[in-house]
Each structure stands twice: as C-alpha cells, then as structure tokens.
C-alpha cells in the first residue's frame, strides 16, 4: 500500500516525503511542477536512500488522476497541491479557485471512484481571518480576506460535506501556522520564485547579500515591540505532524481540524534577532508601512493536535533559523 502525495515536490511536500520514506511508507508523488523543481525528487531520494514514484501531472487532469489510482494500490492521500500566494490570488482569483477547488474536486472524485477515503489536507491558519484573538482554537468561526484564504475555507467545507454524505471517509484538516526552516541536511528547502513574499526567505536572501535590507511591514501594531507576531514552525516538525495525522485517518473514520503550530508567538524583530544570534549574520532592516491584509498577532493553541494526534513541535526558533540559513548557503539559487 502506498501514500499518494499531491504537490510532493513543493516546500512542505518534499519534507513530508522524506519523513514518509524514512518511516517505511511507499510514496507516490503527483505534481505539475508549476511551483517546484523535479530536482527535489533527487534530493529526497539522496537524503533517504529510498526511491519514490513520480508523476508529472496536473491534478485537474481527471484521466491522468484515474490512471494514478488504477496503477497503484493507494491507502491514503496527503493533499498539498495548490497555489498559495495571497497577493496573486487577489489578482487572479479565477485561477486560484480553478486550481485549488476544482483540483480538489477531481482528486476527491478519483478517490471515491477507487474507494480511497483517507485524506490529510493542507489547510492554513489564514482560515481564522482577522477577527479572532490568539491563541487560536480549532472551533473558532472561520473567515477569509482574500481568494487564497477562501479556497481553504471552501475546501474544508467540501471535505466536511463529503464525510457527511459517506461516513467511511476519514479526513484531517491541518491548519498550518508559519512554516519556515529546512531539512537539516541542507538539501531540500523553500525555493521561492523571484522576490520572496515571506519573512524567512527574505531574511536569508538579505543575509546572503542578494537583497540589501529587510523591510519590516509595520512597527505600530499593538504588540510589545510594534511589529507583527506569528507562530513560526519548523517545516520538519510540520512534516512529522502529517505522519501522525496519517496514522489517525488510516485507523479511524471522521473529519477533524488540527492546528499545527508551536503555540509561541515571535515578532518580526524577535525573528531578526534570533537569526542574527543563530547564524552570526547581521540583518539590516528599515521600518516600512504595514502590508495590506496583515494582522497584528496570530498564534496557535496546538493542544488538540497533542491530545488527539500525539504530536507537538520539537524544534525552536534557532533551529529554524540555522536550518533555513544552511539551505540558503548550500543552494544560493535554490534547486537551479
Ligand atoms: P509549494 O508551492 O512549495 O507546493 C505546492 C506544490 O503543488 C508545488 O510543487 C506545485 O507545483 C504543486 N501544484 C500546484 N497546483 C498543482 C496542480 N494543479 N496539480 C499538480 N500540482 C500542483 O507550497 P507549500 O508551501 O509546500 O504548501 C503546500 C500546501 O500547504 C499548499 O496547499 C499551501 O496552500 C498550504 N499552506 C502553505 C503554507 C506556507 O506558508 N508554506 C501555510 C499554510 C498552508
Ligand atoms: N514581514 C515583513 N517583511 C517581509 C515579509 C514579512 O515584515 O519582507 C512580516 C509580515 O508583515 C508578518 C510576518 O513578517 O508580520 C510574517 O509574514 P509572512 O509573509 O512570512 O507570513 P504570513 O503570516 O503573512 O502568512
């Protein structure tokens, strides 16, 4: 029996493939390489000493997806494939709804047709919207401020309705907080196209001299140092959370949401200081205007994942910084 990983050459997917292979699972990856490189597969295989099966395929390709289920004995699906840039989703909402929602519908139809009803889905803390107070618990009302966030809320609803219609499905909705860092081998990591939108890849590129300085988006938030607070989680801890969720969906039926975060909030300035301490590199910065759509503070109550999945994050902010930096130094141009 194999685990199908959609989006498995991407940032979180590649780290999860390493954990799956290390744990002895057979792994099949489907990815259209729209935001990742085929080289990730070599690196995953190099780290683990194991091989996986790769299909370069768009999950919207129904016949192609049926073929994957036809050719393999699949026990469960970990569904990462999706577009994830918030700003781009505002510019191109139809592409986001088409890719993320229709893609998930095609995947679910293929799963139903082949009697595969175990799924772990990549949701996001963005589903908590602007109005809830941290620490965030899974039972809070959901809302979104951009099409990307709405795709996550809509997909969660589609999966809830699917389970409601057929109680033999088993689904974990994993709401990630802010994944950063890289595998400690320095061989897989986050490989953004162009100018990074997210904080940590921007910091590592400043440290590497590729960008002059960090712009800190807002220093007048209602937080101790005025900069935004987030719950950063090491991507390897996050990947391990998927294995715990996978065990749960294989062993039982139902649908549940779980926060995957550390429960600790760090400000932008905290992250800059931690990075400088962990790596010895100085990060020049300037204060800039707030970024539209950002909130002051967002961190998890991760206790449900601990109670029900037996998972908690182990790595600290220094591990996250050191590992992100090792990836940047070893791969100055990402996978290229
Ligand atoms: P990523 O872009 O690195 O990985 C996503 C992968 O999916 C890419 O390899 C891309 O080529 C592939 N893909 C996209 N559309 C596809 C399609 N139609 N068919 C086949 N493959 C397709 O992103 P990531 O950071 O690894 O995120 C993985 C998932 O986790 C996404 O669903 C994302 O929305 C979610 N998520 C990410 C974060 C984050 O900060 N990275 C936070 C919360 C949730
Ligand atoms: N941020 C920043 N400068 C950047 C990128 C991000 O100050 O170049 C801040 C951003 O305003 C937020 C935090 O860093 O407070 C995390 O942003 P990121 O985009 O990494 O994740 P988000 O929480 O927005 O998904």
Residue 199 CB–ligand 2 contact under 6 Å: yes
Ligand sitting nearest the alpha carbon of 82: 1
Q: Does residue 249 fall inside a structural domain? A: yes
With a cut of 50, list the residues of the chain below it in pLDDT.
Answer: none
Rounded CA separation 281/208 (Å): 9
What tens digit of pLDDT does each residue of 278-318 get? 999 999 999 999 998 899 999 999 999 999 999 999 999 99
Instruction: Please give the pLDDT value at position 306.
Output: 98
**184: CB partners within 8 A, 6+ apart:** 236, 323, 326
Q: How many helices (H) and strands (E) does the chain have?
A: 12, 14
Q: Does residue 6 fall inside a structural domain? A: yes
Instruction: Please give the pLDDT value at position 184.
Output: 98
Q: Whose CA is nearest to atom 12 of ligand 2?
A: 228
Distance 92 CA to ligand 1 centre (A): 16
Q: Does residue 81 fall inside a structural domain? A: yes
Q: How many domains does the chain have?
A: 1
What tens digit of pLDDT does each residue of 161-207 get? 999 999 999 999 999 999 999 999 999 999 999 999 999 999 999 99
Distance 10 CA to ligand 1 centre (A): 6
CA-based R_g, the chain, Å: 19
CATH of the domain at 65: 3.40.50.720
Cβ neighbour number for residue 316 with a 10 Å cutoff? 15
Ligand sitting nearest the alpha carbon of 85: 1
Residue 271 CB–ligand 2 contact under 6 Å: no
Q: Does residue 200 fall inside a structural domain? A: no
- Cβ-contact 255, 174 below 8 angstroms: no
Distance 326 CA to ligand 2 centre (A): 21
114 is catalytic: no
Rounded CA separation 239/237 (Å): 5
Distance 198 CA to ligand 2 centre (A): 5
The angle subtended at Cα 194 by Cα 189 and Cα 200, nearest 5°, is 45
Q: Does residue 278 fall inside a structural domain? A: no
Q: Does residue 84 fall inside a structural domain? A: yes
Instruction: Please give the pLDDT value at position 56.
Output: 98
Ligand sitting nearest the alpha carbon of 216: 2
**228: CB partners within 8 A, 6+ apart:** 217, 218, 221, 267, 268, 294, 295, 296, 297
The dihedral over CA atoms of 288, 289, 293, 297, expressed in degrees to the nearest 10, equals: 70
Q: Does residue 316 fall inside a structural domain? A: no
Instruction: Please give the pLDDT value at position 293.
Output: 87
Q: Does residue 58 fall inside a structural domain? A: yes
- Distance between first and last Cα of the chain: 33
For ligand 1, which residues put their CB under 6 angstroms from it? Answer: 7, 9-13, 30-36, 58-60, 80-84, 99, 103, 122, 124, 176, 179
Rounded CA separation 45/22 (Å): 10
Residue in 125, 146, 199 to alter for ligand 2 test, most ligand atoms within 8 A of Cβ: 199
Its domain, for residue 58, covers: 2-180+232-261
């Amino acid at each position: 029996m194999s685990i199908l990983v959609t989006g498995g050459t991407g940032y979180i997917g590649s780290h999860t493939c390493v954990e799956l292979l290390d744990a002895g699972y057979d792994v099949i990856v489907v990815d259209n390489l729209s935001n990742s490189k085929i080289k990730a597969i070599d690196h995953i295989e190099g780290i683990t000493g194991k091989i996986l099966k790769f299909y370069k395929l768009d999950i919207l390709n129904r016949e192609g997806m049926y073929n994957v289920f036809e050719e393999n004995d699949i026990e469960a699906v970990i569904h990462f494939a999706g577009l994830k840039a918030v700003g781009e989703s505002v510019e191109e909402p139809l592409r986001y709804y088409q890719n993320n929602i229709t893609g998930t519908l095609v995947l679910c139809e293929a799963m139903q047709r082949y009697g595969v009803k175990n799924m772990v889905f990549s949701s996001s803390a963005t589903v908590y919207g602007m109005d809830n107070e941290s620490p965030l618990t899974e039972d809070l009302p959901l809302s979104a401020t951009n099409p990307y966030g709405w795709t996550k809320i809509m997909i969660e609803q589609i999966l809830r309705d699917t389970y409601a219609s057929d109680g033999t499905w088993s689904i974990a909705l994993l709401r990630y907080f802010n994944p950063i860092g890289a595998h400690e081998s320095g061989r897989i990591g986050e490989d953004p196209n162009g100018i990074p939108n997210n904080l940590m890849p921007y910091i590592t590129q400043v440290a590497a001299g590729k960008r002059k300085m960090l712009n800190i988006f807002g220093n007048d938030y209602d937080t101790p140092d005025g900069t935004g607070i987030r719950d950063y989680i090491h991507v390897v801890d996050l990947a391990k959370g998927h294995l715990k969720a996978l065990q749960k969906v294989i062993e039982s039926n139902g649908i549940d949401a779980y926060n995957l975060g550390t429960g600790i909030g760090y400000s932008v300035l905290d992250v800059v200081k931690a990075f400088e301490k962990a790596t010895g590199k100085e990060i020049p910065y300037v204060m800039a205007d707030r970024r539209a759509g950002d909130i002051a503070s967002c961190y998890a109550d991760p206790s449900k994942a601990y109670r029900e999945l037996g998972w908690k994050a182990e790595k600290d902010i220094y591990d996250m910084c050191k590992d992100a930096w090792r990836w940047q130094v070893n791969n100055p141009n990402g996978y290229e």
